[in-house]
Structure 1
Amino acid sequence: MWYFSQWKGVGFILAVLLGVGLLAGCQSTSKGSHEAAVPKPTQEQLQRVGLLNQTADDMYNKVMQGDFAGGRAVLQQLGDQIPQISYEGITSIEGLNALTETVTQANKVFSSVKFSPEEGQVTAAKIRLATDALTHATQPMWLQYYKLLQEDMDQLEQAAKEQRKAGVQKSVLQFEQHISVIHPSLLISREVADVEKLDSLVGFVSGQARQEQDNYKQITNILPTLRQHVDKLFMKKAATAYLPVIDQQNPILWTLAIGSFIIAALAFAGWRLAKKDNGVIPVRKQDAD
């Protein structure tokens, strides 16, 4: 009886694993058929997106030269052009949402009674980088932020090692600001799951830096993972395989934390796969400009 019960348990596990494998295979086949069905952008689409990019460049130049009234007028033109373009084959639904939300936020900034020139310049830069990402799939301008982000992380790591709380908070703030400028472009150019992972890592570091107690060890431990993910987003194929620093004082706690993070990531990935067939099918960009 015991043997029957044991084999029954093993059979159940095998059945579950087989079912998961078949489900994954079906979803993979479905995904492949969806991607194969994605049409290439038409010449008219490319022309319209190119015009949108030129308009954004005009706005950016006016704002940077201090012509905020002119920048506001061009921003209105952008708002009129965006809904007239079909983005199928150019970016995903999330990328389009990121673009429209950025323009909406810019309208709020330029319509504010207490208008801030600095905020105006930041929003203009976000829009400029986002429209450039639509027109340049392989070499968008936002890739130029890689060196800046590396410097931010270097400063953060140094401040954490020296246990300078003010330095840590300043470095984290700069890093968050730089990420926010390219965030719409990331959603346009990269997979949503990768951008969401970056948001989670940045949020963790930011939370540790803002806590009253000193969490320097947690910051230095997560930084290698953050660096490696930034390398992935910026397509650094020869990126260094950064190794996390293990906390010798609490190795079990650190191992559990990493395990929990991996489990959560796998669960989220499974949820996204299960959701794909029930929602709007995102349209991915082509590899060539």
Structure 2
Amino acid sequence: MRLLKKSKWMWVGIMLAAVPLILFGCAQSAKERAASAPKPTQEQLQKVELLNRTADDMYKRVTQGDVSGGREVLKQLNDQLPKIQFEGITTADGIRALTNVLNDATRTFNAVKFNPNEGQLNAVRLRLATDALTHASQPMWLQYYKQLSDDISKLEKSAKAKNKADLRKAAGDLSLHYSIVHPSLLISRSATDVEKMDSLTAFVKGQAEGSEDPFKNVLNAVPHLVQILDKLFMKKETTAYLPYADQQNPILWTLVLGSIIMSALSFAGWRLSKKDDGVVTIRRSEDA
């Protein structure tokens, strides 16, 4: 028995007709996820704002040399944090990052021998982290882009010059400055992107400190460092990463998915039209 190619195109037509429904379903799902996302209450926002003011107070005291005053304010932060619900404000990764930086600061300020440098670093990390919670669109940690970008440039320059001492210093500076904004990044950005930056900074530091000939590996890592840094700080478009299905780009993801489906169906239709001149032969089982 032979079937006309019209029957094949009927199935292709059905599949193509289903594409708008698929896209509509994807768009609706994205909208539903955004609508169902928990919204912070006014009470939550007020508590977070108080946390931010308290962290600012601690930071000012510590930078002015008032360590005992900073320690007292740190106690207030430890009292405030457990009373705040962060749903709708940051992710579980962000909450862990904030808790960890607060714990680090507490250990530093309660140590038998206080380290002023560590104390100031923890005060800065904590200040930037609480600011990230209250200023999602324009957090203070964005100011560190130039510093980190300069560190990467120095890393590249020293690798090209094959100067291991300068390379080690540049890698150490990059690691230190990145650690300052690390908690804030986990509060504000995708944990996946932050983990990429974590891996890259750890890699170049390990190469600079441990490898006998680290220069080629570091130079290979530099473009990736620049790319992910720009993505985290939203400085320019990055083309190496496909859009992912998050709440920030649901429409973009839907359009990409739709384009893929349309391309696949169009190709399938073309293949069907070419095979056996559009006619397919169906054999009975006894003829096989």
- Asked whether the two chains share a fold, i.e. TM above 0.5, the reply is yes
Map 1:1-289 → 2, pairs under 5 A = 33-237=32-236
What does residue 6 of structure 1 align with? Answer: none
What does residue 277 of structure 1 align with? Answer: none
Larger RCO of the pair (alpha carbons < 8 Å, separation 6+): 2
Q: Unaligned stretches of 5+ in structure 1?
A: 1-25, 243-261, 263-268, 274-281, 285-289
Q: 1:28 to 1:183 in 2, by over 3 A?
A: farther
Distance in 2, matches of 1:122 and 1:202, equals 19
Q: 1:27 to 1:120 in 2, by over 3 A?
A: farther
Distance in 2, matches of 1:147 and 1:181, equals 14
User: Is the CA contact 1:90–1:283 (under 8 Å) kept in the aligned structure 2?
Assistant: no
TM-score of the two chains, using structure 1 as the length reference:
0.72
Distance in 1, matches of 2:34 and 2:168, equals 43
User: Is the CA contact 1:146–1:234 (under 8 Å) kept in the aligned structure 2?
Assistant: yes
Q: 1:169 to 1:82 in 2, by over 3 A?
A: same
Structure 1 residue 201: Cα displacement: 1.1
User: Is the CA contact 2:89–2:133 (under 8 Å) kept in the aligned structure 1?
Assistant: yes
Distance in 1, matches of 2:211 and 2:220, equals 19
Greater Rg, structure 1 or structure 2? 2
Letter in 2 for 1:122: L
TM-score of the two chains, using structure 2 as the length reference:
0.72
Letter in 1 for 2:47: R
Q: 1:145 to 1:80 in 2, by over 3 A?
A: same
Distance in 1, matches of 2:40 and 2:170, equals 41
Runs of 4 or more, structure 1, over 4 Å off, are 26-35
Deviations 1:192-234 (A, max 9, x none): 1111111111122112112241120111111011101100000
Distance in 2, matches of 1:171 and 1:27, equals 46
Distance in 2, matches of 1:198 and 1:238, equals 17
Q: Alignment length, in residue pairs? A: 224
Letter in 1 for 2:171: V
User: Is the CA contact 1:88–1:283 (under 8 Å) kept in the aligned structure 2?
Assistant: no
Q: 1:212 to 1:193 in 2, by over 3 A?
A: closer
RMSD: 2.7
